[in-house]
Amino acid sequence: MQATFFLSRISLADLFDKIWQTGYMTETDRYGLMSNLLKNTLTEEERVVINRILHAVRRGWIQLADE
């Protein structure tokens, strides 16, 4: 899948910044998070970033958007 390949080259911090600035998470962004989670090599800092994104989605601060 091309979206997963593309996001593997974007750091998790950059992805977090993009999501937070736009206020929504696209399907491509979600695949990026999923691919990072499946690596099983996340640092504690990366886990915190992912948890912050998921918390923001649950609270309604970040919307889910279809591309």
Residue spans of beta strands (DSSP E) within 1-67: 24-25, 63-64
The low-confidence residues of the chain, meaning pLDDT below 50, are 1-2, 4-7
Q: Mean pLDDT over all residues of the chain?
A: 85
- Say what the pTM is: 0.76
Strand partners, 63: 24
Domain ranges of the chain: 2-64
